[in-house]
Amino acid sequence: MFKPNPITTIIALTTVLMVPASAFAQTYDLVIENGRVMDPETRYDQVSNVGIIDDTIVTITREPLKGKKVIDATGQVVAPGFIDTHWHWPRELGYKMGLRDGMTTVMDLEVGCAGSRIDDWYADRQGKTQANYGCGVSHEMARAKVLDNQPEDKLYDVISLFETRRASNWAQGVPSEEQLRQIAQEVDAGMKAGGINLASTVGYMREGVTSKEMYEMQRVAADYGRHSGAHTRFTPDTATNENLGAMEVVLNALSLDAPVSLLHFNNPGWQLAQEMMVNLREKGVNIWGEIYPYAAGATAVNAVFLTPENWVERLGHRYEDTLFDPERNEFYTLERYQEDMKNNPTKAVLVFKAPEEDAVRWISLKGVTMASDGMPMMPVDGEWDTPWDEIQNGHPRTSGARASTLRLARENGVPLMDTLAILSFNSAYHLGLAGLEDMQVRGRIQEGMIADIVVFDPNTVTDNSTYTNATVPSTGFLAVLVSGVETVRNDKVIKDARAGQSIRFAPVDESQYQPQSTGEWKKKYTVAPDQVDFSDVNGNQ
């Protein structure tokens, strides 16, 4: 998808000639032999052998290699492990489901984690997690803490939303200047702790988040050189409003000279959003957008955009063919919607909002990333060995988004190398460009890179999940390696493989902290509120 560095390409394509003789005599911890090695950055595409020591790819060559362990990848593709930047099930069972679909690195950069709990979240996963894990700093939870007085022990990560979204000020409340200062401080705490980005669900908070608040939250991230990822204001809506929401966060980012990502922009108006991002990238802006290959999204039934006044009366949809209950496997009526709004307002629902044929168009776009928006299913905290058929139905993207992308690409002639880029390299590229060192060594099959690797049959790999049976795992993966450790073998997850690594920025030493943007946020929001002049140029409060 991206223009490769010609020097890197030459190095990759001439690996065999440059590997010293000692490399062939060495015994590697693991060798993947006779596979079609495909690297989306350099476009390397040859049947080769991969030698791994500890967690690192040491050698890629066409010469034979000796390994303590050998995976015969004859007829298989050997590719970078798939990266998901938009994953809402950061629990053991969720990680396991994603691994069955080739996912080696999983991050939540939309909802994120409570800023003051970032350290706890990472510590809870260290040495225990099967996939690499990361989290952004939650805009929504900062608002819940300040505007709904949610106690810190109720705020953690996306799973907290089952409770916090039962209140309303997090979405509808317009903060005072003092409250805005507190919200900004909570986000700032998460940045100091190494949170990956500003993770904003502003589209769920369209009534409460002013344009000033959104700018200030992006400024907090920009002060640390971090990107902002947003479920943009108005999404989903009309094509015009969708793009107005996108333009808000993009213009903020351009003003702050900061990276930005448009989350799941595969909604009405996506063509214009894509053109805007491509043009800005050509001008040197670090901007990217996510897609997933499904006509339906998923959310909670109390999402602000699903009210009858908006979804039915203003936008002209019908619950009977757009709002689906995955628990009952049937579409809603207005009466059912009102019943669940009263009794179970955070219940997961599917929202059909696009033509089926658009999915192939999305996975063919230049420079996008495939981010599944995978949702938690019940039991959220289920035991590792919970049978798949005992998990409550949800959205098929949770278990099948990556294999679905591969299958659709195969069936519609999308080049496999481009498909691998949207599944791995593109996310790593943009996050690495934003300074996240953990992503500068992932998303690539190259010497010196971390051995997060998927090995799959390009002719048979497929998703098996459907809207009515969403928990059926994908098939076609011979092996999935996380940090050099075989974690999936022949479509089975290995329970004792716990090699997942944290993906985060290094915590910030306040004494060494220097704002990277204009520094106005620090001036305005870190001093006592009675010392701040919030007047505008006309003297109005």
259-288 pLDDT, tens digit each: 999 999 999 999 999 999 999 999 999 999
Contact 425, 488 (CB under 8 A): no
DSSP 8-state secondary structure symbol assigned to residue 539: S
CB-based burial, 256-285: b 16+ in 10 Å, e otherwise: bebbbbbbbbbbbbbebbbebbeebbeeeb
Within 13 A of 198's CA, how many CA atoms are on the CB side?
A: 38
Instruction: Kindly state the greatest CA–CA separation across the chain.
Output: 76
For 176-183, which contacts have Cβ atoms below 8 Å and span 24 or more sequence positions? 177/529, 177/532, 177/534, 178/529, 179/146, 179/147, 180/212, 180/213, 180/216, 180/525, 181/524, 181/525, 181/529, 181/532, 182/145, 182/146, 183/139, 183/142, 183/143, 183/145, 183/146, 183/147, 183/213, 183/217
Instruction: Measure CA of the first residue to CA of the last residue in the chain; give whole Å.
Output: 48
Contact 160, 141 (CB under 8 A): yes
Give how far Cα 317 sits from Cα of 162, 235, 240, 305, Å: 26, 15, 17, 11
Residue whose structure tokens are 């059909």: 352
Give how far Cα 358 sits from Cα of 27, 295, 355, 528, Å: 48, 7, 6, 51
Contact 244, 237 (CB under 8 A): no
What confidence score (pLDDT) does residue 122 get?
98
Could you give the CA distance from residue 108 to residue 117 in angstroms, rounded to a whole number? 14
Q: Which uninterrupted H or E stretch holds 104? A: strand 103-113
**Residue 155, C-beta contacts closer than 8 angstroms, at least 6 positions apart:** 114, 116, 117, 141, 144, 145, 164
Please state, rounded to an integer, the average pLDDT across all residues of the chain. Answer: 92
Strand order in the sheet with 227-230: 82-84, 103-113, 132-138, 197-200, 227-230, 260-262, 287-291, 369-370
Quote the distance between the C-alpha of residue 392 and its chain's center.
23
What confidence score (pLDDT) does residue 184 get?
97
Residue whose structure tokens are 């991206």: 2
The residues of the chain scoring below 50 in pLDDT are 1-4, 6-18, 517-519, 521, 525-541
Could you give the CA distance from residue 514 to residue 524 in angstroms, rounded to a whole number? 15
Could you give the CA distance from residue 477 to residue 96 in angstroms, rounded to a whole number? 14
What confidence score (pLDDT) does residue 177 get?
96
Contact 144, 182 (CB under 8 A): no
What confidence score (pLDDT) does residue 502 get?
98
What confidence score (pLDDT) does residue 3 get?
45
DSSP 8-state secondary structure symbol assigned to residue 224: T
Residue among 312, 323, 375 nearest 349 (CA): 323
What confidence score (pLDDT) does residue 511 get?
63
Could you give the CA distance from residue 450 to residue 477 in angstroms, rounded to a whole number? 19
Q: To the nearest whole percent, how much of the chain has pLDDT over 70? A: 90
What confidence score (pLDDT) does residue 515 get?
54
DSSP code string of 360-389? HHHHTSTT-EE---B---SSTT--TT--GG
Structure token digits, residue 353: 């909002």
185 - beta bridge partners? none
What confidence score (pLDDT) does residue 11 get?
43
Q: To the nearest whole percent, how much of the chain has pLDDT over 90? A: 89
- Report the phi/psi class of residue 284: left, alpha or beta, with left for phi > 0 and alpha for psi in -120 to 50: left
Residue among 336, 463, 367 nearest 407 (CA): 463
289 - beta bridge partners? 262
